[in-house]
Amino acid sequence: MSIFEDNQKRLKEIQALEGISDQEMSVFSAPVKSNYAELEINGRKYPSWRIVFNEALGPGKGGIRFHPDVSEDEVRALAFWMALKNSLADIPYGGAKGGVKFDPKAADKKELEEVSRQYIGKFHQYLGQDKDVPAPDVYTNGQIMSWMLDEFEKREGRHEPGMITGKPVELGGISMRGDATAQGGYLITKELIKNFLSDRQDIKIVVQGFGNAGLFMTEKLANDGYKIIGVSDSRGGVYNADGLNIKELIALKNGGGAVNEYKGGQSVSNAELLELKTDILILAALENQITKDNAANIKADYLVELANGPVNYEAEQILAGAGKIVVPDILANSGGVITSYFEWAQNRTGQILDEDYLRQLLDKKMKSGWSRVYGKYQEKPGAITLRQAAYIIAVKRILAAEKARGRI
């Protein structure tokens, strides 16, 4: 089943729970804009996409990923999730996403820059601070955003730093963007612990995905004294029932090593890591990590989706039936896009706000998001999941905007 079809099944549940009409739900059946182009570098062609799913609340907003497995279905699903995420976060954006079917790990810096600039060359007419605002995603970063901004401004003949976020500070970015997704996920996990685990300290945590977001979030939780018993990256994982030394693991990773090289624990595969006995499993890798094939083997009582779509629809049915709690991606990983909103707002106004103030604002918005979702969940205890609660809030805000515009 495609990722997008998976999403449509979840929407059918929301429609039934809330009595939403077919006409209203048609808003979520297809993107409002879908653009495709082929990039050509050194005789090789790379399919690329930029999709805006909905823009009732504001311009499109969502990252651009470089990955050899990117597909139109994936980009469309990610754009859908961004629409819901931005709605749930109560920020003035629609949802969008971009991707290039390309392996940046096999490219040198020159080729990476060429792909970045060609992408903007193909899509610049659809982008802009009031149209559609990209950001970093899987295997893209501040340098790539810088090349993209420069190419956009060359082609458009004007400065417009607000057309893209996740930039270096020198080009109008904000320094807190680097760990914003992790900080948001950390705050949500702390709220989960407070509301479901009575602020226990003897909590064991496993983290799948030790890239930027997963690494920073692991570090924050370890600093709070929680026992991190397993972590993994794309090459495998490591496990120690007594807890891992996260400072040593981070030093290894930052030095170019893989976590399964760490000598302070037992080497495990990614599949084995997911099935470890733990209190909380943080999913910070890619989509479709937990499916009907392994859902019944998941021993964690609580799962936090720091990545987009790591638990598919069929898996969540199994997890819910087993009494597992899943904190949905559109809540748990929204810290990145909220901080992108801060950057975009500063770029548009020219006003530079103090980082301490922005961190407090991020803290407030993440906790407010949790409060709304948890409050909705408690209205029907046992009858709906946290994801359904989040989807209800997000869908209704988009529909209210569509109605106000007279579209439905």
The set of catalytic residues is: 97
Question: What ranges in 134-206 are assigned the alpha helix state H?
Answer: 142-156, 180-196
Residue 328 burial (CB < 10 Å; 0-12/13-18/19+)? buried
Q: What is the DSSP letter of 261?
A: G
Contact present, 393 and 376 (Cβ < 8 Å): yes
Q: 42-80: buried (b, 16+ CB within 10 Å) or exposed (e) per residue?
A: eeeebebbbbbbbbbbbbbbbbbbbbeebebebbbbbbb
User: Who's near 125: CB < 8 A, 6+ residues apart?
Assistant: none
Contact present, 236 and 260 (Cβ < 8 Å): yes
Q: At what angle do helices 180-196 and 212-223 cross, to 10 degrees?
A: 50
Distance (Å, rounded) from C-alpha 243 to C-alpha 145?
37
